[in-house]
Amino acid sequence: MSTIDQKFLTDICSDERILTKNNPCVKENLFLEHVCSADSNVNKNELFTEELNSLEDIRSARSILNKGESYAEILSSLDKNYKSLIDSWISEQEDLKKKLKLTESKNFLSNLKYVAGVDLSFPSDKNDLIHASASIVVLSYPDLKTVYKKTEIVHLTSIYIPQFLAFREFDSVKKLFSELNNTHPQYFPDLVLVDGNGLLHPRKFGFACHLGVSMNIPSIGVAKKLFHVDDIINIDEFKNKKKLLKKKGELFELVGKDDFVYGCVLRSTSNSPNPIILSVGHNVLLTTAIEIVNHCCKFRIPEPVRLADQFSREYLRSHYAKHIENCNNYDELNKYFNEISLKVNEHC
């Protein structure tokens, strides 16, 4: 283990906030602080190694979260503005879901030329809940050569709320797609990979579904952690099944009630024991999604998403300080975001 990895683990294990908080949603947020502030040279996609087994409860925070009172429910009970907002978001999800397609066009895979990946990165300053760096990368398929990339500093309009990631990140991603279409329409992708979930969601409409339907583009959700819905699998079963995935391409499906297949757990590289969680978003079949994602993985995370993450982090490091020098219009909103986040964490 590298010195940086050792420091990363030491920081987590010595963080009394993590050790003393009982609620998993607080532990998850604190754990993510350490992940996001880890040295840039560390491969974030490989941080979840066997050395972190003692922190299994933190790693699986989202899965536990859905079994009790959710972050969104706590937030709604504390802030009437957010209650109204969350109610409207649920309504919007249900409306958009009516347009969701779980099929794919004829010869979709053979006609696939360009695959995009999108991702956002956030400042190391954990009190800054406004700024982020949004990135889109387009790769040719199947040779996976970068043909287009664009990254910019964006301003967020909500704190992160599990189940509602789209309402925090979609507007920024949509703007990147618009710029791509205006400047380089020849590289507009046939498919987009999202760092998040698709059907693997309490309402079967995660960020990948939201983006795909809203922009009428086939989409796939790729996550690093299991988001537990519909009693699809318990933690012990998940860990045991994960150990059976020995080689790149091996997988097991995530099946819920009424035999609904939410997605699958895929070992995407032989070099990492940690799989990825794959769920379709819009207008693509799971079998096709598995083939595409497996092909796109040189490392654990598929190249379109991995590169979008890499570029967004690099851009943030080089542009963030200069950007915030003259960015004072969001102080009140940022103050509100910090206050409401603190309230929710205190009630978790």
Sheet holding 251-255, edge to edge: 146-155, 131-140, 114-121, 191-195, 219-223, 276-282, 261-266, 251-255
Containing H/E element for 199?
none
Query: Rounded to whole angstroms, what are the CA distances from 118 to 122, 133, 319, 320?
Result: 14, 11, 19, 19
Q: How does pLDDT run along the chain (348 residues), one tens digit per residue?
A: 444 444 444 454 444 444 444 444 444 444 545 444 444 444 444 444 333 433 443 444 444 344 446 888 889 998 888 999 999 999 999 999 999 999 999 999 999 999 999 999 999 999 999 999 999 999 999 999 999 999 999 999 999 999 999 999 999 999 999 999 999 999 999 999 999 999 999 999 999 999 999 999 999 999 999 988 877 888 888 889 999 999 999 999 999 988 999 999 999 999 989 999 999 999 999 999 999 999 999 999 999 999 999 999 999 999 999 999 988 889 999 999 999 999 888 775
The number of beta carbons lying within 10 Å of the beta carbon of residue 131 is 19
**Residue 321 corresponds to which amino acid?**
A
Nearest C-alpha neighbor of 280 from the set 199, 172, 226 = 199
Cα separation, 173 vs 179, in Å, equals 10
Nearest C-alpha neighbor of 211 from the set 194, 229, 187, 186 = 194
Question: What are phi and psi for residue 106, nearest 5 degrees?
Answer: -60, 135
pLDDT of residue 12: 47
Q: Which residues pair with 263 in a beta bridge?
A: 254
pLDDT of residue 70: 80
Q: Which residues pair with 174 in a beta bridge?
A: none
Q: Which segments of 277-330 does DSSP mark as H helices, in order?
A: 286-296, 303-325
pLDDT of residue 348: 59
pLDDT of residue 52: 42
pLDDT of residue 173: 98
| CA torsion angle 61 79 165 248 (round to 10) | 0
Tokens of 186: 């020849």
Cα separation, 298 vs 16, in Å, equals 37
